Structures are given as structure tokens and as C-alpha cells.
Amino acid sequence: MSSAVFPPDLSPAYLRALTVPVAQTIGMAAAGMLVAFAAGIPLAVVIGTRAPGHRLLGTVLASLRAIPDLTLAILAVVLVGLGPGAGVAALALFYTAMIGRVYGSLFLAADAAPLEALRATGASRISLAAFGLIPLTLPDILTFGTFAFECAMRASIIVGAVGGGGIGTELIGALNALDYHRALTLVIVLVALVAGVDGLGMLVRRDPRLALILVPAAAIALWFDWPQIFAFRHALHTFAGMFPPQLRATQIASLPLLIAQTLLIALGGTLIGAVLAAPISLIAARGLAPLPVVLVVRRVLDVARSIPEIVFGLILVVSAGIGPLSGAIALGLHSAGVLGKLYAETFENVPAAPIASLAATGARPLAIAAFGFIPLALGPNVVHTLFRLEWNVRAATVVGLIGAGGIGQALFEAQQLFFYKEMLAYVLVTWGLVALSDWFGERLRIHMGWHFIAG
Amino acid sequence: MLELRGVRVVYGPGAPPALDDVTLQVGAGECVAIVGPSGGGKTTLLRSINGSVPIVAGTIRVDGVDISTLRGGALRRMRTQLAVIAQQHDLVDRLLVYQNVMAGALGRWSTLRALRFLIAPTSAEIAEAREALGGVGIAEKLRERTSDLSGGQQQRVAIARALVQKPTAILADEPIASVDPQLGEQIVALLCSVARSRNIALICSLHQPDVARRNFDRVVALDGGRIA
């Protein structure tokens, strides 16, 4: 097994050949996020200032966000055509919904007193956003923005896998050709790309003005990746062919099992991720562990986070076979990376004063963690975990692509066989399932009184 | 008990001294107020006594031990003798009141005992927390969530936590800056009362000279890092 994968193909000719797909992937993520920020922030302001129609907008964004990125990518490829343009369209739509909804929630949770003072001056909604909402929530906006960019980079692999271009297309090609040496090279490139975005994110959090430098680069990428072979008549014809969505009686009968499999993969993946992340995050947080240990553990988490669930799934398929358990483990390994980072950052962001007070009693480091860091970070970390569970319901459909079972597998089988009516039916079931899990998660957070928003 | 001689603190090369030639003695059960303008060195003085700010000259002795010579575990053990009460009380608001109160005992507890206490506190530990809270007049708040208490009640919890620490000195840094004047006077009187009754040295920085004069045994003015 290891000799089939190692060493990675690092030949100069192959690395040279990778420059175009790498540029396509970066461009796709950057262009998609440029559109997402440009469209998502105004939508978030509408929600955050409780403008007329904000509830309807929130529902629409939540609905859009409930369609997994891979599903959007398939629709985009069908409608826009093969290539990075489809990837940009899918990413832009998905992340506009995400930015709009999450930033909107952040704005709603902003400190009310300064906003009230601004409103009292007669400030417009735009002024309220510029002078109140955005400055008040800037650290969270930047943290989530860089996190979303990272996600977009990974998602560009997923959209690439169905013909969106970039290293995702290369990766699927390498795996289909059973060339695991090249597949490993591509995974390493992906890890490096996400680490690069992480580093960039750290710089932007330190000096938000740096984000402005990225705008022209993303605009250039958007120009190059604009859909080029888009044929409106063909798109319309294909879309019309999906209606009415329909399933045969036997397919309807098997739906409960498919839904249960999907939910189990998501729950199992989240549980595995949280159980792995909880202890790891304690040694990944500055202030809780020595800096050299933090740096090493963070890099390990970066690697786990950089590898999309579907790539973990493909690795597991090669080594452990297919099925829902492999799907849950794939989700769990990726989730451990994500949750480990988020938990650690929450520990780093807890107010310094109570921790200093505990230290002043002469408490030992673990006691300070137990009495200070953990209870202070509990609320945000539970919210991170609930968000991850919601995310994993989507991801559970994506790992269906590689035979993990559930709704996702049925959807991809329908798409592969060009049964577009069945495909749309499964898309709608997926949408309903994700929307329901989002709704349930939100109710739970409100019930618990934890309104923090995070990845 | 607490003895400072010629203490000097400088926060960086070329910076003016934050404390300059400060000499002060505070006996057990004595209550001393430090007053002076913002930036005058009050907080620096308290932080240097706690060993949080290094001194560049002079000595700070607690029960005869020079704290500037202590590092690591020895400094941590010394800190168990010096309870700190901050302006914003600095409690962990998600913990229950008795958990915050007993956090004062963390310095003398092993890590295992601290973890066990969070999961299954003994009746003796709960009784100790109740007694400390009784000392500050809010024993009935024992099992409430800390975030549900008012600002004044939270400051009392911070005092109870300091009592549980069984310190030889309490260092209070503007403990009434964020409460109204009437409540502030009550808290200062309570602090002085518990310090005297338990023979604890109290050094408290304040912005209100009149409150200081009414409640403390001695008032020391600190301006520009020097005792006026």
C-alpha cells in the first residue's frame, strides 16, 4: 500500500505541469470569494440592521446554504459548462449565502449600546454598518472570512472533481488512473495552499488593510475564469429536463434508510472529530502550551484541515474499503483538524483578566485550564461543534460520491446515469435534510442561550 | 509582613520609571490605601508585589522572603499568600458562584483535586465556600451562576475567593472603580473589616481619597511613581 502511494511524484516535469491547475484553483477560490464578499456583506447588513424583509432574506440564504457545494457544482457544470467558470459560479453562490447568513448573525449579536447611540444620530444603514456593525465585529468577521476562504480553497477541489477544473480535476484524474504517487503530490500541494491561506489570514487579522491587496488579484482571476462556453439555451433545456423531479416506488421506500445512513455518517464524523479535537486543542493554544508544541500541533491540524473529507474518503477507500464507517472516519479526521483549530483559537480568545486572576492564586496550569479556559470557552466551542454537525450533514452527502452510502451516493448514481429527474429529487431531499438540520441546530443554540457564530 | 525598600520599576529602555524609590511597610491586619492620579504607579506597585512586574532595584519582602528572587514553582507558591482583587473582579462568569469562590484554593490543591472538585465537590468544600460567602453577606448565592449576579455581588464573590485563598495579604486594585459610590463605600468597608478580623494585610489602590480616609488605617499618595 505505502509503496503504491509513496514517494510523491516530484519530478520537475510534473511540477511544471501543475502550475496551471494550481493557478486555476487559487483563482477559482479567490474569484468565488470576491463575489461572495461583494454580495454577501450587503446582504448581511440587511439582516444585521433588521431592514424590511430581513427574515425572508435570512431564510433564502439558509436555504441556499443548505445545498451542498458539490451539488451546486454539479448543477453549475451542467448549466455553465465544464471549466473554472462553473467552479467560480458554484463557489460564489454557496459562499455568498454563507457570508450573508453568518455575517448577518454576527451583526445581530453585536453590542447593542454603541449601535443604539449611532442610530440616535440618525445614521443611515450603510453608516451604521461602516461605523458600528463592521468595527464592532471586525475580529470575528476576519476570523470567519479567512476560514471561509480556506473552505473555498478546499471546495475548489470538490468542484474540480466534477469538472470544475484546477487540481481537483487533476486529483480525480490521478485517482482514476490509479496513480497514487501523483495523487499524493496533489494532496501535498493542497495542504500547502491551505497553509498559505492560513498564513495570509493571520497577516490579514493583524492588519485588515492587507485584505485590500487581494481584491485586484481576485478581480483578475474572476476576469479569466468568467464562464466562456456558457450556452443559455442548452442550460435552460437541461434544467427543464430535470422537471418534474420523480422517484420510483422502490426508491421512495429506501429513502428512510438513505437518510438514516447520511445522518449517522454526519453524527459519527462529528463525534470522532470532537473527541479527537478536545484534547489536541489544549496543546494547540498559545498560552496553554509551550510555543514550540503549539506550532507543531497547529501544523498537524492544518494538514488534517487541508485535506477535504472526500480525499480522506478516497484514502480510506484504498486502505479500508468503502461504506458508511469509512465515510464517518473521513468526516471525523477532517473535522478534528477544523474543530482542533477553532477550539484552540477560542481558548486563545478567552478574556485575559479572569485567567490572570486564577494564575494570581498560584493555580497550576491544568487547574487554570479547568477553572478558566474550558468554562470560558465552552459556549463558543459547543456552537463550533453544532455548526460542524450541520456542515457534516452536507459533507455526508459529498462522501457518497465515493460509495460511503446515504443520499449522496444515490444522487451521484442518478447523475452518472443522466437520470436528471431522479437527481433533482435527491437534490431536494438533500436540501430538505440539510435545511432541517440547520433549523434544528439553530433552535438548539438559541435554547442553550449561546448565540455565538463561528465556522 | 510586607516590606518594600527602594523599589524601582522601568517598563523599557529609556522610559521614565513607573515606580521610583518606593519604600513601604504594611503589617498584618493593617489596611493601607494607595491613592493618586491615573498612571501614577498604583497598579504597577500592586503588580510588582505580586511578582507580575519585575523590579530593577530595591527589594520586596513578604514575611521576610525576597519575592524578586523567586521563579517558577516558588513564585507560584508565594502567590498563594497574596490574594489579588481586580477592578472588574475578573471572575469566570460561566462557573457557579461556589466554583469561583473555591478557585481561591487552587494554589494549595493538586491538579487532580481541582478537577475532582469541578465534577464532585465534597460537602466540606461546599461548606468552606458557604462560610466565605457568608463573610461577605451573600451565602444564599452559593449555587447561582456567577453571570446572574449584579456587579456589586460579583465583587463580593471576588472578596470571598480572596478569603478562601487564606492569604497573608490582599492586593486590591481599584476594587470599587466600576460600582456606584454608595456600594463602593460598602465594599471598601467590608474589605477592611475582613482584613482586620482575619489579620490580613490589605493594600488597596483607590481613586477616592475621602473613602480612603474614612476606612483605612493609613493613606499613601503615589504620583509619578514616587510616594508623595
Average pLDDT over residues A283-288: 88
Grid cell digits, residue A298: 497547529
A116 and A46: one domain? yes
Q: Which residues of A fall within a CB distance of 8 Å from B109? A: 367
Q: Which residues of A fall within a CB distance of 8 Å from B121? A: none
The CATH number of whichever domain residue A351 belongs to comes to 1.10.3720.10
pLDDT at residue A455 is higher than 50: no
- Tell me if A267 is assigned to some domain: yes
A20 and A135: one domain? yes
Q: Which residues contact A402 (CB under 8 A, 6 or more apart)?
A: A310, A313, A314, A317, A322
How many domains does chain A contain in total?
2
Q: Which residues of A fall within a CB distance of 8 Å from B90? A: 353-354, 356-357
Q: Which of B52, B77, B106 sits opposite A367 (nearest CB)?
A: B106
Average pLDDT over residues B33-60: 91
How many domains does chain B contain in total?
2
Nearest CA in chain A to B102: A371
Beta strands B201-206 and B31-35, pairing class:
parallel
Residue A404 and residue A383: Cα distance in Å, rounded? Answer: 27
Q: Tell which of B166, B190, B220 closes a domain.
A: B166
Average pLDDT over residues A117-124: 78
Q: Which domain holds residue B70?
A: 1-81+168-228
A44 and A121: one domain? yes
Q: Tell which of B120, B136, B166 closes a domain.
A: B166
Position B164 scores a pLDDT of: 92
Q: Which of A353, A364, A371 sits opposite B86 (nearest CB)?
A: A353
A358 to B106: CB separation less than 8 angstroms, yes or no: yes
Q: Are A310 and A398 in contact (CB under 8 A)?
A: yes
Average pLDDT over residues A409-420: 83
Interface residue B145 vs chain A (CB under 8 A): no
Strand partners, B19: B9
Fill in the amino acid letter for B114.
A
Q: Tell which of A208, A240, A272 closes a domain.
A: A240
* In A148-282, beta strands by DSSP E: none
A368 to B115: CB separation less than 8 angstroms, yes or no: no
pLDDT at residue A229 is higher than 70: no
A21 and A69: one domain? yes
User: Within 10 Å of residue A405's Cβ, how many Cβ atoms?
Assistant: 23
Grid cell digits, residue B228: 508623595
Strand partners, B60: B4
Position A383 scores a pLDDT of: 83
Residue A143 and residue A364: Cα distance in Å, rounded? Answer: 30
The CATH number of whichever domain residue B190 belongs to comes to 3.40.50.300
pLDDT at residue A448 is higher than 80: no
**pTM for this structure?**
0.72
Task: Give me the percent of chain B exceeding a pLDDT of 90.
Answer: 55
Grid cell digits, residue A281: 486543542
Q: Which domain holds residue A332?
A: 249-448
Average pLDDT over residues A194-223: 79
Q: Which residues of B fall within a CB distance of 8 Å from A361? A: 79-80, 83-84, 103-107, 161, 165
Average pLDDT over residues B71-100: 85
A357 and A391: one domain? yes
